[in-house]
């Protein structure tokens, strides 16, 4: 049996019709299908225990949905296949797996995830966590009157450029510390992509444990605006005077004033410091 788990609040409230379309498509494969709202499942352990071993659990959604579920089931042991049906606006998680399949087997990729620790909270993340302008743009997107898509992200990126002011930060990675007085943003990546296809960490691979810290600093606003589109191709790293990339296992950042932190697109504010740890 295929068991669909979905977020009824996604797709701007139009998810129910989309779920029915998926169910019809899966039934053509000859497997019975049932669907459940993720929001209605209070005890995930009990839910999984109630499934048959040969059932296939399929998550319908994008990066936000799979991040939400990964944080709830990370420590569970379950025999069922765990898959994802591509249905989100970003899909950076699936993009990093380089597959065109609609139903993707994802169980191996959510068993060894890095963590971000802030304000006595610990969260696992799939793609990356970013602070400063990165987090502020996420805040604008999440509170936008427009639909979530690449155009909307691009629109609010330029709004962020206009409103955000660089901040000071003390950065430590694997015991090496330095200060940045004009930091635009710092992104800690577990894979190459975020923001709906932005190749912010071109050499990052999900199969490796190293975190890729991408720091953008000291750059004039007008030049940042010109460089920004090159991030989609991963070409921004050639501007070494303004873009610094460092690999490591443990990252700690302390800011001189509160700023925004995004974790797979979910934004926290105000944040004055946080720590990132690679999967152990």
Burial of 217 (0-12, 13-18, 19+ CB in 10 A): buried
3-state per-residue secondary structure call for 219-246: CCHHHHHHHHHHHHHCHHHHCCCCEEEE
Q: Which domains does the chain possess?
A: 2-110 (3.40.50.10330), 115-277 (2.60.200.40)
Residue 109 tokens, joined: 């990729």
pLDDT at 14: 60
Sign for the pseudo-dihedral over CA of 37, 95, 263, 251: positive
Burial of 151 (0-12, 13-18, 19+ CB in 10 A): exposed
Rounded CA-CA distance 136/164 in Å is 8
pLDDT at 86: 76
Burial of 248 (0-12, 13-18, 19+ CB in 10 A): middle
pLDDT at 52: 92
Contact 279, 249 (CB under 8 A): no
pLDDT at 266: 92
pLDDT at 221: 94
Rounded CA-CA distance 114/124 in Å is 6
* Residue 278, φ and ψ in degrees, nearest 5: -70, 160
pLDDT at 12: 54
**Other Cβ atoms closer than 10 A to 245:** 18
Axis crossing angle, helix 133-142 with helix 150-163, rounded to the nearest 10: 130
Maximum distance among all alpha carbons in the chain?
A: 60
Q: What is the bridge-based pairing of β-strands 81-86 and 56-61?
A: parallel
Question: What does pLDDT average to in each consecutive run of 10 residues of the chain (280 residues)?
Answer: 84 71 87 88 88 92 85 89 80 88 90 94 95 94 79 84 96 98 97 91 94 97 93 95 97 98 95 95
């Amino acid at each position: 049996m295929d068991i669909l788990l979905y977020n009824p609040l996604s797709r701007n409230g139009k998810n129910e019709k989309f779920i029915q379309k998926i169910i019809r498509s899966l039934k053509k494969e000859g497997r019975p299908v049932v669907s459940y709202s993720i929001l209605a499942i209070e005890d995930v352990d009990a839910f999984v225990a109630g499934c048959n071993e040969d059932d296939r659990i399929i998550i319908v959604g994008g990066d936000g949905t799979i991040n939400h579920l990964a944080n709830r089931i990370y420590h569970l042991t379950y025999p069922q296949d765990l898959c994802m049906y591509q249905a989100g606006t970003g899909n950076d998680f699936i993009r990093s797996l380089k597959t065109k399949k609609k139903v993707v087997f994802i169980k191996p990729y959510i068993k060894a995830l890095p963590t971000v620790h802030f304000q006595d909270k610990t969260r696992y993340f799939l793609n990356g966590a970013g602070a400063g302008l990165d987090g502020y743009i996420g805040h604008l997107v999440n509170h936008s009157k427009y639909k979530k898509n690449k155009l909307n992200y691009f629109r609010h990126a330029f709004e962020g450029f206009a409103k955000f002011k660089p901040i000071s930060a003390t950065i430590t990675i694997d015991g090496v510390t330095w200060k940045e007085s004009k930091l635009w943003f710092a992104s800690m990546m577990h894979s190459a992509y975020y923001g709906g296809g932005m190749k912010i960490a071109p050499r990052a691979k999900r199969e490796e444990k190293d975190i890729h810290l991408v720091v953008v600093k000291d750059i004039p606003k007008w030049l940042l605006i010109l460089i920004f589109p090159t991030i989609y191709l991963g070409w921004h790293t050639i501007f070494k005077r303004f873009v610094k990339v460092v690999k490591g296992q443990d990252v700690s950042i302390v800011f001189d004033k509160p700023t925004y932190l995004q974790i797979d697109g979910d934004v926290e504010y105000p944040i004055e410091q946080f720590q990132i740890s690679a999967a152990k």
